[in-house]
Amino acid sequence: MAVKNIAVTDTLETFRTTFNDLALNDFGDIANLSGSISSTNLVDAMNETISIATSTAGFTIEDSTSTQQIIGGGDTLKVFGTSNEIEAVVSATDLLTIGLPSVVSITTSVTAPTVSTGNMSLSNGSITDSSGAISFGNENLSTTGTIDGGAITGTSITGSGATHTLGTIEISGNTIRSTDSSRININDTFRATVFESETGLMSIDETAGFPRISSSRGDNFLAFSVVPILLDSMIFEGSTPDNNETTVTVTDPTADRTITIPDETGTIITTGTIDGITESMMATDSIGQNELKSLATLQILNSSGTVLKTIYGAGA
């Protein structure tokens, strides 16, 4: 079949002879078509021929976009796999096996009701494991949302931002506070190296193996707004820390006792005081008989025996 071409300058006679030659030699006489073909034009006859040929000696393949390709006699259908995505194997006799490799790489996404691997399943936003535990190995777990659940166990929990909240306890830097109260309750023993008041004026710590309450005020004052009850003695170290201390203690009371310290400056005199009474500590009035435990008297009489003067003194 040769290409027929009629120029614009050709005569009508040239057009006539060219057309007749095309119909006779290229298209052929329609009467010569096989009786098994019912089409009456060349295009339909060719399509019908292809349909008959593929139904007996070939087949048609079609993809998900409805694109079709005819595979006829003598044609080769090639099926290629993609590395780490799909495998295609041709084997005898007339067998094509399509499957997944041991390691599958997916460049976009996987959509399925449930994805399972070993004991673990991923379904509807939930990850479960039939063994009862999911391990992330030594990898970090990061989320911009929230983690809800029961107990969270780990060697450390690190979050983003400066403030973190666990229930109603807020941690911001090195400050811990309650979000719904002005008090934090600790139901177990709480230990720290040093306990300090809000401004640090008072501290509770241990020194040299002894518990200590100390003040950082310039005058070292420590105020008690209650009456302290001491179950034992009080020990005063003095201004020089050494092996000598003064202990103030009491005999086990058998009743409520009160010892009053007078409103004055002075030194307390004890039974162990030697030569501790000074002249200024003596009363300026005369000593009467009621002021001596054992009384002795000296009387001065006149000539008639009348007592002129009585002198009192300690009895012998």
Alpha-carbon dihedral angle through residues 59, 60, 61, 62, given to the nearest 10 degrees: -160
C-alpha–C-alpha distance, residues 68 and 60, integer Å? 7
Longest dimension (CA), the chain: 203
Higher pLDDT residue, 274 or 289?
Answer: 274
Mean residue pLDDT of the chain comes to 83
Q: Tens digit of pLDDT for each residue in 44-90?
A: 777 777 776 666 666 788 888 999 887 776 678 888 888 888 898 88
Query: Contact 99/90 with Cβ under 8 angstroms?
Result: no
Give the integer Cα–Cα distance in Å for 144 and 98: 41
Using 50, 70 and 90 to split pLDDT, how confident is the model at 199? very high
| C-alpha distance across the termini of the chain, in Å | 170
Mean pLDDT of 291-308: 81
In this prediction, residue 258 carries a pLDDT of 93
pLDDT of residue 54: 62
Q: What pTM, to 2 d.p., does this model score?
A: 0.43
Lowest mean pLDDT among 27-41, 172-186, 272-286: 27-41
Give the residue carrying structure tokens 């004890």: 270
Parallel, antiparallel, or unpaired for β 163-166 and 169-172? antiparallel
Q: Which residue has the tokens 């087949």?
A: 59
Q: Which residue in the block uniquely carries the two structure tokens 């078509």?
A: 33
CA distance 316 to 242: 46
For residue 146, what pLDDT band results from cuts at 50, 70 and 90? Answer: confident
